[in-house]
């Protein structure tokens, strides 16, 4: 495959030929899968990792999800709890689905919103035999198991609209960017792209979404205009469903303008449901947080991630097991690891440690220049791989190397890490790695970040200094 790509790039070496091919591909681009394939092929021709990264999940893995409960990885107890809330009529008017990246909080919120929207109205629920001698109609009892709920939804008349995210009573709010200077964007401006995104990358995060709409380095936002639109929409009567539902994805992007929603969330119209889907509780406005019922979404288990990689991504069992172990329940991370599976993270880490502890400033600067040229996703993957090895090192101390199912090269590297750092030092390094992975997500300058991290790593290991900063 790599040889074919090289030949194609050589064939398209001249600028005018590349332009011709680009416009031909652009003309072929269609919604959904078509656009994804175009991005990927274009990324090969133009050697653009950003385009390849955007398209990977939808193209290389190529799984398009219907948001049924059965298509969500793991979370059996959470699904059952949500269904019980409907069955026992204990549904709060505002729910906060709080789950870390890759946990499946967004797919679960979409499935639950779809399920609630398809519920029959109170006056439509059958209650006994007909007056005309027909067979008695079984009273409606909401399903209590996810498989039963899926089967029930698929029989409903409005299911097709709900599954395509075009149900008139399910509304979506999410971070957006202005299309041109001076714009005051609202989510409705990007609703077609959002439907496409959640069909292709249901486990994607805000970074994936903003890159999907071409944000580059622009910051997403849920604007004051969007808040006004929410108030207007939710004040109207529902069209088909007895419920009117708003899914707010990433309420962390709501600034002070979110206070416009306080009265609506606290005293909503009858049969109105707000579902907020967040990753970081601390970044949500406290005034909004206090008005929501918290539903914590745990990450799927490693065995569930492993099985999903085997069945959905056609990964070999051994590779799926290793990837699931590194991803630690983050399905998005697992897909990203598969994308970069040919990267020599261990070699890059070995070079870094040698530069830190033996090479001196010249070797360190050379390594920093090399790693700063990687894209943000690869930089995050590298830091998380280092974190994974440190965690395995600590497990080896406690459980013994023979009791851990690790590849031989990783096990050997983890044991070497135990020789150069104590447990407290390893914990300090893990905190620094996690903190810097977060900074990378927030568009930190790669060269400056890794320069500072190299200095901290040197002092933690060499001088046994625990550098903990806010």
Q: What is the mean pLDDT of residues 182-191?
A: 88
Question: What's the confidence (pLDDT) of residue 54?
Answer: 42
Q: How many residues does the chain have?
A: 470
Question: What's the confidence (pLDDT) of residue 296?
Answer: 94
Considering only residues 82 and 339, tell me which one the structure prediction assigns the higher pLDDT: 82
**Exposure on the CB side of residue 104, measured as CA atoms within 13 A:** 27
Q: Record the tokens describing residue 380, joined without a space.
A: 């995050």
Domains in the chain (CATH in brackets) are 1-61 (no CATH), 69-297 (3.40.50.300), 343-462 (1.20.272)
For residue 336, is pLDDT > 60? yes
Task: Say what the pTM is.
Answer: 0.70
Q: Where are the beta strands (DSSP E) in 229-328?
A: 244-249, 272-278, 293-297
Percent of the chain with pLDDT over 90: 25
For residue 178, is pLDDT > 70? yes
Residues 6+ apart with CB under 8 A from 360: none
Lowest mean pLDDT among 62-76, 159-173, 202-216, 417-431: 62-76
Q: What is the mean pLDDT of residues 14-22?
A: 45
Question: What's the confidence (pLDDT) of residue 397?
Answer: 85
DSSP 289-309: HTTSEEEEEPPPPHHHHHHHH
pLDDT in tens, 239-256: 888 899 999 999 999 888
Query: Residue 166: is it exposed, middle or buried by C-beta count within 10 angstroms (0-12/13-18/19+)?
Result: exposed
Question: What's the confidence (pLDDT) of residue 142?
Answer: 78
Determine the Cα–Cα distance for residues 250 and 175; give it in Å rounded to an integer. Answer: 7
For residue 323, is pLDDT > 50? yes
pLDDT in tens, 144-164: 788 999 999 999 889 999 989
For residue 340, is pLDDT > 80? no
Contact call for residues 200 and 57 (beta carbons, < 8 A)? yes
Determine the Cα–Cα distance for residues 111 and 75; give it in Å rounded to an integer. Answer: 13
Contact call for residues 260 and 226 (beta carbons, < 8 A)? no
**Beta bridge partners of residue 254, listed in sequence order:** 222
């Amino acid at each position: 495959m790599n040889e074919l790509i090289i030949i194609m790039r050589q064939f398209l070496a001249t600028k005018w030929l590349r332009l011709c091919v680009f416009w031909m591909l652009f003309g072929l681009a269609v919604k959904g899968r078509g656009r994804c394939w175009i991005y990927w092929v274009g990324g090969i021709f133009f050697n653009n990792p950003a385009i390849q990264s955007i398209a990977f999940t939808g193209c290389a893995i190529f799984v398009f999800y219907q948001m049924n409960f059965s298509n969500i990885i793991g979370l059996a107890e959470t699904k059952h709890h949500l269904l019980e809330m409907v069955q026992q009529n204990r549904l709060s008017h505002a729910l906060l689905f709080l789950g870390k990246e890759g946990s499946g909080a967004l797919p679960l919120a979409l499935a639950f919103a779809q399920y609630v929207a398809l519920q029959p109205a109170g006056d439509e629920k059958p209650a006994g035999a007909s007056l005309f001698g027909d067979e008695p109609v079984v009273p409606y009892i909401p399903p209590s198991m996810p498989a039963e709920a899926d089967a029930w939804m698929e029989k409903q008349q409005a299911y097709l609209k709900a599954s395509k995210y075009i149900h008139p009573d399910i509304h979506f709010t999410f971070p957006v960017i202005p299309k041109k200077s001076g714009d005051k964007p609202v989510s409705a401006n990007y609703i077609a792209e959002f439907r496409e995104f959640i069909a292709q990358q249901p486990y994607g995060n805000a970074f994936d979404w903003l890159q999907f709409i071409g944000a580059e380095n622009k910051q997403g936002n849920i604007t004051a205009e969007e808040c006004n639109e929410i108030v207007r929409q939710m004040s109207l009567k529902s069209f088909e469903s007895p419920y009117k539902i708003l899914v707010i994805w990433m309420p962390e992007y709501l600034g002070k303008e979110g206070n416009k929603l306080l009265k609506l969330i606290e005293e909503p119209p009858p049969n109105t449901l707000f579902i907020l889907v967040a990753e970081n509780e601390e970044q949500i406005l406290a005034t909004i947080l206090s008005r929501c019922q918290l539903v914590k979404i745990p990450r799927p288990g490693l065995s569930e991630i492993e099985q999903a990689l085997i069945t959905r991504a056609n990964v070999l069992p051994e590779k799926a097991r290793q990837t699931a172990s590194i991803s630690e329940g983050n399905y998005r991370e697992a897909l990203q690891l598969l994308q970069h599976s040919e990267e020599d993270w261990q070699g890059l880490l070995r070079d870094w440690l040698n530069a830190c502890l033996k090479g001196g400033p010249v070797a360190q600067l050379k390594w920093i220049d090399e790693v700063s040229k990687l894209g943000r996703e690869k930089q995050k993957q590298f830091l998380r791989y280092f974190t994974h090895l440190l965690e395995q090192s600590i497990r080896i101390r406690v459980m013994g190397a023979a009791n851990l199912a690790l590849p031989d090269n990783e096990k050997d590297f983890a044991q070497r890490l135990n020789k150069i750092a104590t447990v407290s030092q390893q914990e300090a390094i893990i905190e620094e790695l996690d903190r810097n992975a977060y900074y990378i997500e927030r568009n930190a300058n790669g060269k400056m970040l890794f320069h500072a991290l190299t200095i901290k790593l040197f002092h933690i290991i060499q001088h046994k200094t625990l550098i903990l900063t806010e």
